[in-house]
Homo-oligomer: A and B are copies of this chain.
Amino acid sequence: MMRNIAAMQARVTALGATLRPHVKTSKCIEVGRLQRDAGARGITVSTLKEAEEFFAAGFDDILYAVGIAPQKLGRVLALRRAGCRLLILVDSLAGARAVVDTGRAEQHGFEVMIEIDTDGHRSGVAPDDDLLIAVGETLQGGGATLTGVLTHAGSSYALSSPEALARMAEQERAGCVRAATRLRAAGLPCPVVSVGSTPTALSAQRLDGVTEVRAGVYVFFDLVMANVGVCRPQDIALSVLATVIGHQAEKGWAITDAGWMAMSRDRGTQSQGVDYGYGAVCDAAGTVLDGYVVGGANQEHGIVARRDGAADPDIAGRFPVGTRLRILPNHACATATQFDLYHVVDRDGATRTWRRFHGW
């Protein structure tokens, strides 16, 4: 994890932007502190719960990177009045008007980003849509502060070649910078140009015009990212420690106590180059046991078997009852949220626990 944090920070710094890590992956104060200590400027959150938790721990520059629901402005206001520089996000006139109306009623000037859609995968205004200027004018004319534009090329997760990733990173960069340029040409402020996803952040060749990069999953990495090609399996810093509880020897199955409740139902590698089932199998020290995956899962049962589907005739001898195995996750965000605690392994092998929170 420490290597992953340092590598992303160095890369974003070298490209001339600041890094605002997305703490939705860890939801852990201690991890956020390590990212800050490494040079991050502010954090990104996916829920107001994250904002509240991190603000209570001393983080006061927070970007809430999910379009604001009008019903949530009261909690936003409470954080801002308590001294948190909490930025919010809109991508519609209805959203902008709700922010402006609440700001007027509460005599408060919210700081707002506009979400830009650079790859069609989710939310946001297209960079060349006239709606962009209308949203900016509604905010700025209504007493809010237009802080900048934000985009997330989430479709980068579906790519797997360096060339395609570099093209997507450039598409993300160019689209977001284009939106900023149009806003400025319309006489509107746009100091912040925020882009990012772990794959594009690690694939961008240049970030001209971009001021900050957001990325989350890089802190742990996972098998989906390994398939995308932006990390190696041995870079994955999150694993589930499982125990063998039985076998179905004639099927070549070892049954563990880590089913989908531990791994999550995320099957993100199913559509990728290597399908790891519900996870890749390592020994207790973390060395990948090539060819073995969690091929199936019930709620509290994982089925460890050969990835090629052949039945290992010696599965019970290879992994006797009581054997500890580490399972690498398809998707770190999804697996981590199945747990309340991280068991953190230090360089010297000592472990301690860090709290992970849930909720919205």
A: residues with CB less than 8 A from B are 24, 46-47, 66-72, 90-92, 94-95, 98, 115, 117, 121-123, 154, 243-248, 255, 257, 260-262, 264-267, 298-301, 303, 316, 320-322, 331, 333-334, 337-341, 358-360
Contact = CB atoms under 8 A, between A and B. Distances in A.
B71 A243 contact: yes
A46 to B, nearest CB: 5
Contact of A123 (B243, B255, B299): B255
Contacts of A69: 243-245, 257, 321-322
Nearest to A256: B69
Among A121, A246, A339, which residue has the most Cβ atoms of chain B within 10 A?
Answer: A246
B24 A321 contact: no
A253 to B, nearest CB: 9
A246 B299 contact: no
Given A245-B68, A299-B24, A265 B262 contact: no
A265 to B, nearest CB: 4
Contact of A66 (B68, B300, B316, B338): B300
A334 to B, nearest CB: 6
B95 A246 contact: yes
Contacts of A95: 245-246, 321
A289 to B, nearest CB: 19
A218 to B, nearest CB: 15
Given A46-B300, A255-B122, A300-B24, A334 B260 contact: yes
A95 B257 CA distance: 13
B333 A299 contact: yes
B94 A154 contact: no
A66 B154 contact: no
The 5 closest A-B pairs by CB, nearest first: A265-B265, A94-B321, A67-B245, A69-B243, A265-B266
B243 A321 contact: no
A69 B339 CA distance: 20
Contact of A337 (B71, B246, B338): B338
A246 B333 contact: no
B321 A340 contact: no
13 contacts: A66-B245, A67-B245, A67-B255, A67-B257, A69-B243, A69-B245, A70-B322, A71-B322, A90-B246, A98-B322, A154-B298, A338-B358, A358-B358
A244 B95 CA distance: 10
A353 to B, nearest CB: 12
Contacts of A94: 246, 316, 320-322
Nearest to A117: B248
A282 B117 CA distance: 28
A299 B46 contact: yes
Nearest to A25: B299
Contacts of A154: 298
With a 10 A CB-CB cut-off, give which of A67, A299, A338, A360 has the most chain B CB atoms.
Answer: A299
A98 B42 CA distance: 51
Contacts of A255: 67, 122-123
Residue with the greatest number of chain B CB neighbours at <10 A, chosen from A121, A266, A298, A321? A321
Nearest to A260: B334
Contacts of A257: 66-67, 69, 360
B123 A246 contact: yes
Given A122-B301, A255-B67, A91 B333 contact: no
